[in-house]
Amino acid sequence: MTTTSNNDDTGWARASALSGTEANDHAATVDGIAAAIGSAVVGATEAARLALVALLCGGHVLVEDVPGVGKTRLARSLAASFGGSHRRVQFTPDLLPSDLTGVNVFNQETREFDFHAGPVFANVVVADEINRAAPKTQAALLEVMEEGLVTVDGVRYAVPDPFIVVATQNPVELDGTYRLPEAQLDRFLMRLSLGYPDRNAEFAIMRGGGLPEPESLKGSADAETLDRVRKAAARVHTADTVYGYVRDIAEATRSHPRLRLGLSPRATAALVGAARTYALTRGRPYVIPEDVQRLAAPVWAHRLVLTPEALVSGQTETDVLGEVLAGIAAPQPEQAVNR
């Protein structure tokens, strides 16, 4: 199991409602799931861990990468690892909202309308090439992502729990696509990129045969286990100065000369929630500044909007966020004791 230093004497863990032993037990569970997913998606163990963090937080993931690097396989493996259901939807310009949510169909025998559930009624929903669908269809997915509910003809239906949308988009091929608006990007807890595998990993992919199918990962965990980890994450301690550190970073983005839109309060709350869960996956019952720094790009970069000048100069949101992080001093352990 991978853990960071358990510095209980530094003050980070004061007032924690979670013991170090309990945190280590939950971390071992997550390590096992991430390793199982990594065995089916070569070189994606860390991406799998972050996707698990998003799942445990009740958030959603946008995977932005070129075709053929294992985006869909990662989602299938995530669902199979806890025995959850998985549905994949190929987004196209002619996809209708009802194709996602489902429709009421008149039953000739009962003379009543029966609801036929759409593909969003699954634990893991893969929205493949989400930016190829029309804005109306993208908006239909928005309600499900935000509320975990689908409304059809005035009746609301709850999707399964746990529930996560793993949306993919190709950042290179933009012909025939509809750009996701900032309001919808903000609904994704994280934006991840798998990237190209290293030499050994690509050899393993080319050889084939040795990689297990995602569906073979059943038994790595179950929904009840994930629920216990999720409840434990809510008890992970966050010191006041860590809250202040997160707020200072957000405040700096709101006045940054190369950002047209900085981080919202929802973004800061999302980062803190993800940091608690990430700390638990590392075997700690408390959050440290390094957790904030590790999650800053996945959780925050896609929520920032660059100025036209920054875009012309070739800068990315991650570049600007890196500058902001470098300019703000992280709190020291001895300052983190709540008195």
Among 293, 232, 200, residue whose Cα is nearest residue 4: 293
SS3 helix, strand, coil % of the chain, rounded to 5? 50, 15, 35
pLDDT digits (tens, 9 = 90+) for 242-254: 999 999 999 999 9
Structure tokens at 169: 């988009």
d(C-alpha 277, C-alpha 262), whole Å? 24
Residue 17 CA from chain centroid, whole number: 25
Give tens-digit pLDDT for 14-42: 666 778 888 899 999 998 888 888 888 87
Instruction: Establish if 124 belongs to a structural domain.
Output: no
Residue 7 has pLDDT above 50, yes or no: no
Model confidence at 205, pLDDT cuts 50, 70, 90, reads confident
Average pLDDT on 197-205 reads 79
Q: pLDDT band for 201, please (50, 70, 90 cuts).
A: confident
Mean pLDDT of the chain: 86
Using the 8-state DSSP alphabet, how is residue 115 labeled? E
**Domain span holding position 330:** 1-18+237-339
The predicted model gives 35-61 an average pLDDT of 87
Number of compact structural domains in the chain: 1
Element of type H or E holding 150: strand 149-152
Average pLDDT estimate for 76-97 = 88
Residue 141: which residues within 8 A CB-CB, separation 6 or more?
A: 100, 120, 127, 130, 165
Question: What gap in Å lies between CA 180 and CA 169, rounded to an integer?
Answer: 10
Contact call for residues 25 and 265 (beta carbons, < 8 A) = no
**pLDDT of 3 over the 60 cut:** no
Question: Could you tell me the pLDDT band of residue 270, with boundaries at 50, 70 and 90?
Answer: very high
Residue 254 CB-density burial (10 A; 0-12 exposed, 13-18 middle, 19+ buried): exposed
Q: Are 102 and 115 in contact (CB under 8 A)?
A: yes
Identify the band that residue 339 occupies on the pLDDT scale cut at 50, 70 and 90: very low
In a domain, 298, yes or no: yes
- CATH code assigned at 3: 1.10.8.80
- Nearest by Cα to 302 from 179, 209, 206, 201: 179
In a domain, 325, yes or no: yes
User: For the segment 276-295, what is each residue's pLDDT rounded down to a tens digit?
Assistant: 999 999 999 999 999 999 99
Assess if residue 257 is contained within a domain: yes
Average pLDDT over residues 126-154: 88
- Is residue 97 assigned to a domain? no
93 is a domain residue = no
* Residue 273: inside a domain: yes
Q: In this structure, is residue 99 part of a structural domain?
A: no
pLDDT at 298 over 50: yes
- Decide which of 72 and 331 is more confident: 331
